[in-house]
């Protein structure tokens, strides 16, 4: 047993003692049982397997990503609320220091990697093939594997707090703290292994979308006639391929250090702890742009649609995102100006960092000029885009303040920094995700999200957000350090912390309104909507809503930017005559991705617990999976013309009787 | 995927899906370059941190390393011959040269493992010092890639024998060829920066 278990003992596995954790264990157990019983009772197992778990359809994979994103938002949000409760009053005893460390660590990891990423990649999955006029991504089965690897990684990370203990060294997991010497438990093994699994999935997504966007665009859609969201997704995918392997290596080295006793980042044996910080941010800074660029793309689509105008300065937008992508690789040292690299190095990285404000500023003005003289419709999606502009500018301007190496010695490690990056990431990413979800929801589900509930969601969320994070700027300037689990009465921080805590609850109500909106709209929203409910501009609206599984019976030919808008203006009919129809080749569903990802998850779990032999046995399973895939010659199937005729006549007829365009 | 066979192109490029796969694999190799670049950077940061353990001068012996290099470089040449036979539509020649390639690759892996075992016997393990950690992980990653390549190519040889040369098997062979040459390029960097530069210095 000792060989199998290594140094980890059974009694370390299930966490106990803390009522919050025991409560969660029971809640998780009961929920799992409830889901299993429900699926069995309603005889939904084979439906679930056939329609969802084995699907390779980019739209369904996207929906699963988004669903996982909502769940992870809830988990990460709970972590945030717990932190805010702990700092509501001075010397609060709600959480102890260790528990607080675990919670801010998981909050950071989950919000960036398991909330922002799946939301964005999910929307990319749903929208990009439609927007460029393709029938699926380049590698549909790989796409499913990407999703399942992400999902397995996220689940592995999430079970940490009930089985074995959460990582507690911050989402940046700096050495030497994150090393075995100072964090002897298995919490940080979860960090190293779970993120690795999810990260490999993300890397595959990057490759998949580069090939899809470069090779599968509709006829006539040259790169400079491509919608802005497709552009930002392309650039994001390129950054993923350029940056994620660095993190793959960094995490692997961390795993070696923690589990196999090597000396990459340790104090002893000649290791160098600052190398982790460098490698982490060499990935970590581009990661910020990986999440924010697709969000910029979504804002571009939403703002153009609801201003009833073409995007202003399209080419300068493209230039800006390419510039941002390039600069994103050259700024990583600004995360640790205080490391002691010296004034020359710090100055160079200060300048590169400030340079990022230039292309970002160009984008800001382009959005404003897009709205200028436009006939703006204040839909919920547009409200998110409008709120994004001033809020993100606050995040950006404080970012330029932080970019000054000398001044950074003042701000470093305070709540000012925390406020800054929340002002960047929440308006930049979360607002965009909400805008995108309200905008593309009908495309996915065939009904709109309720606009009235949407506006409640919007106002609570935006007010709550500002109330939570604005005080943190001032707390930081007064000297409140980040990641500190409590503060004294004498510090004088109490009033601002209280305001910030109240803000967090208002924020939570906003998120609750969103979840209720999903539920309400799924039950009661009008299904009788047009295929183009927003009177939109791009190709994803030039087919049925919700989309038939083959996307387009005949891929439209693109003649200009905003192709669908010009088709409508020039009265180009979408109707197709029956003799134009051809059989459509589609990929078959496959159980391999989910099985493969599960085996990798099991191997990862064993590795977390340092059961090396068990992990090795599971790794053999991975090899078997690869061999099976190599011999798999399933070449997909053809959709017959009769089926296409039937599907097409259904939505084309309905559209003529419906007129519920917004605005 | 199977539709639209364009017979004017080389066999491996004839279907749409093949063209996508080959481009995708090139991009994957781009990611691999970043991965190995990070490992090289790690090595160059840690290469003089011996922590009282053995140094390159104590460990490296040029004879074995040169043999490994010759084996791997030759295997790249035979891999090129295999693709040449594929272009001539000679399935048997292709399979024969692929087998020669894999045997040379296996010889390389065998010699590398022997070299590692020798180091461990001399008390130089990956736990000894930062230099050795980075050495073993960089070379181990490359060696693991070669070993995976041998397994992968074996699958493809079986498929070539069973199915003959089709657009699909040709594409798979072409892609493993790209992979094999890539690993050769990485080895040239390892040979130069890990071994040679440390032995003259």
- Domains of chain B (ranges; CATH) run 24-40+56-200 (1.20.120.80)
Could you give the CA distance from residue A110 to residue A161 in angstroms, rounded to a whole number? 13
The reply to whether residue A249 touches residue B35, judged by beta carbons under 8 angstroms, is yes
Contact (CB<8Å) B45/A272:
yes
**What are the backbone angles phi and psi of residue A585, rounded to the nearest 5°?**
-90, 125
Please tell me the total number of residues recorded for chain B in this structure.
Answer: 201
A586 φ/ψ angles, rounded to the nearest 5 degrees: -130, 150
CB A79 within 8 A of CB A137: no
Q: Are A256 and B129 a contacting pair at CB < 8 A?
A: no
Q: Which residue of B has its CA nearest to A582?
A: B3
Top residue of B26, B27, B136 to mutate, by most chain A CBs within 10 Å, is B27
Q: Nearest CB to B20: which of A211, A279, A623?
A: A211
Give the pLDDT confidence score for residue A336 in this predicted structure.
93
Put simply, the answer to whether A635 touches B1 (Cβ < 8 Å) is: yes
Among all chains, which residue has been given the structure tokens 């065998």?
A: B110
Give per-residue pLDDT as tens, B128-142.
999 999 999 999 999
Side-chain-facing half-sphere of A528: CA atoms under 13 Å: 6
Nearest CA distance, A281 vs chain B (angstrom): 13
pLDDT score at A1: 38
Q: Which residues of B touch A (CB under 8 A)?
A: 1-3, 19-21, 23-24, 27-28, 30-32, 34-35, 38-39, 42, 45-46, 49-51, 126-131, 133-134, 136-137, 151-152, 155-156, 159, 168
Q: What is the mean pLDDT of residues A419-443?
A: 96
Task: State yes or no: pLDDT of A23 exceeds 80.
Answer: no
Q: Are the beta carbons of A477 and A414 closer than 8 angstroms?
A: yes
CATH number belonging to domain A44-590+634-655: 1.20.210.10
Contact list, A623 vs chain B (CB under 8 Å): 151
Give mean pLDDT, residues A249-275: 95
Among chain A residues, the shortest Cα distance to B27 is held by A207
Cβ(A353)–Cβ(A317) under 8 Å? no
A250, A252, A263 ranked by CB distance to B51: nearest:
A263
User: For A43-55, how does the pLDDT look when each residue is reduced to its tens digit (9 = 90+)?
Assistant: 888 889 989 999 9
Beta-carbon separation of A210 and B21 below 8 A: no
Question: What is the distance between the alpha carbons of residues A534 and A513, in angstroms, rounded to a whole number?
Answer: 23
Cβ–Cβ of A262/B50 closer than 8 Å? Answer: no
Percent of chain A scoring above 70 in pLDDT: 96
Q: State the pLDDT at residue A10.
A: 55
What pLDDT, in 10s, does the model give residues A607-621?
999 999 999 999 999
SS3 labels along B9-66: CCHHHCCHHHHHHHHHHHHHHHHHHHHHHHHHHHHHHHCCCCCCCCCHHHHCCHHHHH
Every domain of chain A and the residues it spans: 44-590+634-655
pLDDT band at A320 (very low <50, low <70, confident <90, very high): very high
Tens digit of each residue's pLDDT (9 = 90 or more) over A529-553: 888 899 999 999 998 888 999 999 8
Contact predicate A627/A180, CB 8 Å:
no
Q: Contacts of residue A242 in chain B, CB cutoff 8 Å? A: 30-31, 34
Euclidean distance between CA atoms B83 and B99, whole angstroms: 13
Contact A256 B133 (CB under 8 A): yes
CB < 8 Å to B137, chain A:
252-253, 256, 262, 264
pLDDT tier at B5, thresholds 50, 70, 90: confident
Q: Do B130 and A241 touch (CB under 8 A)?
A: no
Q: What average pLDDT does chain A have?
A: 91
pLDDT: which is higher, A30 or B119: B119
Of B24, B133, B155, which has the smallest distance from its Cβ to A211's Cβ? B24
Distance, in angstroms, between A207 CA and closest chain B CA?
6
Mean of the pLDDT values across residues A85-89?
94
Query: Which positions in chain B touch A269 (Cβ < 8 Å)?
Result: 51, 127-130, 133
Lowest-pLDDT range, A37-41, A142-146, A285-289, B155-159?
A: A37-41
Q: Could you read off the pLDDT of A510-531 as tens digits, one per residue?
A: 999 999 999 999 999 988 888 8
Set of chain B residues whose Cβ sits within 8 Å of the Cβ of A241: 27, 30-31, 34
Binned at pLDDT 50, 70 and 90, residue A274 comes out as very high
Q: Which of A28-42, A162-176, A230-244 has the lowest mean pLDDT?
A: A28-42
pLDDT of residue A571: 86
Among A473, A397, A472, A464, residue whose Cα is nearest residue A431: A464
Closest CA–CA distance from residue A635 to any residue of chain B (Å): 7
Q: Which residues on B lie below 8 Å from A139 (Cβ)? A: 20-21, 24
Residue B1, pLDDT > 50, answer no
Residue-wise burial string across A599-622, b where 16 or more C-beta atoms lie within 10 A, e elsewhere? bbbbbbbbbbbbbeebbeebbebe
For residue A270, give the nearest of B24, B129, B156 by CB distance. B129
Q: Give the residue-averaged pLDDT of A472-481.
A: 95
Instruction: Write out pLDDT tens, residues A92-144.
Output: 989 999 999 999 999 999 999 999 999 999 999 999 999 999 999 999 999 99
Q: Do B27 and A207 touch (CB under 8 A)?
A: yes
Q: Do B168 and A211 touch (CB under 8 A)?
A: no
- pLDDT over threshold 90, residue A485: yes
The confidence score (pLDDT) of residue A37 equals: 87
Neighbours of A219 (CB within 10 A): 10
Residues in A closer than 8 angstroms to B176, CB to CB, are none
The reply to whether residue B1 touches residue A587, judged by beta carbons under 8 angstroms, is: yes
What's the predicted TM-score (pTM) here? 0.94
For A627, nearest residue in chain B (alpha carbons): B155
For residue A634, the chain B residues in CB contact (below 8 A) are none
Spatial separation of the C-alpha atoms in residues B155 and B81, rounded to whole Å: 19
> How many CB atoms sit inside 10 A of residue B82's CB?
25
CB contact under 8 A, B20 and A215: yes
User: Do A587 and B134 make contact, defined as CB atoms within 8 angstroms?
Assistant: no
| Confidence grade of residue A83 (pLDDT, cut at 50, 70, 90) | very high
Residues of B in contact with A143 (CB under 8 A): none
What are the Cα distances from residue A534, in Å, to A101, A305, A436, A552? 45, 8, 13, 19
CA A272 to chain centroid: 31
Q: Band the pLDDT of A33: cuts 50, 70, 90.
A: confident
Q: Which of A27-41, A195-209, A578-592 has the highest mean pLDDT?
A: A195-209
* A-B contacts at Cβ under 8 angstroms: 119
CB within 8 Å: B32 and A261: no
Of B32, B34, B130, the CB nearest to A272: B130
Determine the Cα–Cα distance for residues A651 and A552; give it in Å rounded to an integer.
Answer: 12
Question: In this complex, do B28 and A207 lie within 8 Å of one another by their Cβ atoms?
Answer: yes
* Whether the predicted pLDDT of A20 surpasses 90: no
> Could you say which DSSP state residue A637 is in?
E
What confidence tier does A663 reach under pLDDT thresholds 50, 70, 90?
Answer: very low
Tell me the C-alpha to C-alpha distance, in Å, between residue A631 and each of A248, A439, A594, B155. Answer: 28, 42, 18, 8
Q: What is the spatial distance between Cα B123 and Cα B113, in angstroms, rounded to a whole number?
A: 15
């Amino acid at each position: 047993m000792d060989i199998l278990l290594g140094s980890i003992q059974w009694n370390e596995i299930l966490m106990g003692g803390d009522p919050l954790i025991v409560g969660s264990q029971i809640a998780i157990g009961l929920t799992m049982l409830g889901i299993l019983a429900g699926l069995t009772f309603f005889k939904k197992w084979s439906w679930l397997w056939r329609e969802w778990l084995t699907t390779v359809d980019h739209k369904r994979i996207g929906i699963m990503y988004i669903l996982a994103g909502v769940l992870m938002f809830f988990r990460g949000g709970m972590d945030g609320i717990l932190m805010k409760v702990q700092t509501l009053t001075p010397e609060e005893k709600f959480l102890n220091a260790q528990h607080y460390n675990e919670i801010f660590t998981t909050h950071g990891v989950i919000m960036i990697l398991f909330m922002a990423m799946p939301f964005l990649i999910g929307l990319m999955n749903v929208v990009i093939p439609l927007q460029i006029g393709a029938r699926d991504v380049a590698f549909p089965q790989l796409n499913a594997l990407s999703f399942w690897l992400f999902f397995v990684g996220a689940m592995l990370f999430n079970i940490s707090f009930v089985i074995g203990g959460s990582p507690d060294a911050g989402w940046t997991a700096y050495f030497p703290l994150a090393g075995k010497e100072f964090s002897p438990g298995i919490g940080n093994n979860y960090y190293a292994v779970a993120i690795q699994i999810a990260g490999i999935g993300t890397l595959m997504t990057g490759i998949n979308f580069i090939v899809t966007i470069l090779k599968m665009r509709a006829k006539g859609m040259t790169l400079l006639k491509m919608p802005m969201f497709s552009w930002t997704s392309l650039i994001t995918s390129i950054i993923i391929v350029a940056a994620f392997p660095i993190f793959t290596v960094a995490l692997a080295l961390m795993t070696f250090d923690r589990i196999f006793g090597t000396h990459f980042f340790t104090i002893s044996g000649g290791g160098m702890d600052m190398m982790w910080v460098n490698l982490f941010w060499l990935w970590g800074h581009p990661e910020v742009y990986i999440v924010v660029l697709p969000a910029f793309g979504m804002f571009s689509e939403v703002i153009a649609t609801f201003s009833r105008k073409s995007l202003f300065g399209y080419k300068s937008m493209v230039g800006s995102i390419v510039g941002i992508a390039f600069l994103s690789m050259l700024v990583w040292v600004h995360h640790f100006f205080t490391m002691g690299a010296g004034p020359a190095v710090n100055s160079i990285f200060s300048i590169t960092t400030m340079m990022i404000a230039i292309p970002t500023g160009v984008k800001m003005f382009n959005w404003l000029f897009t709205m200028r003289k436009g006939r703006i419709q204040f839909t919920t999606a547009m409200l998110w885009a409008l709120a994004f502009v001033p809020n993100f500018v606050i995040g950006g301007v404080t970012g330029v303040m932080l970019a000054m190496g000398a001044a950074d010695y003042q701000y470093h490690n305070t709540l000012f920094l925390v406020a800054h990056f929340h002002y960047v990431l929440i308006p930049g990413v979360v607002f965009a995700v909400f805008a995108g979800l309200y905008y593309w929801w009908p495309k996915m589900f065939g009904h709109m999200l309720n606009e009235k509930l949407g506006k409640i969601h919007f106002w609570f969320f935006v007010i709550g957000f500002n109330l939570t994070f604005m005080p943190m700027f001032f707390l930081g300037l007064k000297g409140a350090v980040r990641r500190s689990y409590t503060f004294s009465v004498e510090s004088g921080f109490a009033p601002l912390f209280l305001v910030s805590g109240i803000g967090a609850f208002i924020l939570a109500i906003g998120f609750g309104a969103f979840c209720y909106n999903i539920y309400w709209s799924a039950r009661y929203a009008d299904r009788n909507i047009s295929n183009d409910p927003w009177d939109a501009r791009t190709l994803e609206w030039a087919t049925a809503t919700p989309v038939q599984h083959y996307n387009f019976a005949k891929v439209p030919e693109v003649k200009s930017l905003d192709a669908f808008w010009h088709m409508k203006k020039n009265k180009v009919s979408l109707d197709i005559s029956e003799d134009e129809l051809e059989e459509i080749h589609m990929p078959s569903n496959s159980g391999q991705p989910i099985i493969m990802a599960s085996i990798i998850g099991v191997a990862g779990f064993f590795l977390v617990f340092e059961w090396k032999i068990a992990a090795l046995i599971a790794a053999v399973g991975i090899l078997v999976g690869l061999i099976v895939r190599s011999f798999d010659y399933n070449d997909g199937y053809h959709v017959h013309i009769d089926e296409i005729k039937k599907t097409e006549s259904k939505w084309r007829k309905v559209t003529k009787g419906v007129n519920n365009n917004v605005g | 995927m199977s539709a639209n066979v364009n017979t004017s192109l080389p066999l491996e490029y004839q279907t749409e899906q093949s063209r996508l796969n080959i481009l995708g694999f090139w991009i994957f190799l781009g990611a691999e370059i970043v991965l190995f670049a990070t490992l090289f950077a790690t090595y160059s940061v840690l290469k003089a941190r011996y922590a009282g353990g053995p140094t390159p001068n104590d460990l490296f012996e040029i004879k074995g390393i040169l043999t490994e290099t010759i084996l791997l470089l030759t295997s790249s040449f035979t891999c090129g011959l295999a693709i040449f036979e594929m272009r001539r539509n000679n399935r048997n020649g292709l399979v024969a040269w692929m087998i020669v390639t894999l045997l040379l690759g296996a010889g390389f892996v065998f010699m590398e493992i022997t070299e590692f075992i020798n180091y461990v016997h001399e008390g130089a393990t990956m736990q000894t010092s930062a230099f050795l950690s980075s050495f073993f992980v960089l070379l181990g990653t490359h060696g693991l890639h070669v070993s995976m390549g041998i397994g992968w190519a074996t699958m493809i040889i079986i498929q070539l024998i069973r199915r003959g040369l089709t657009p699909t098997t040709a594409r798979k062979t072409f892609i493993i060829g790209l992979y094999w040459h890539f690993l050769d390029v990485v080895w040239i960097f390892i040979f130069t920066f890990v071994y040679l530069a440390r032995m003259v210095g």
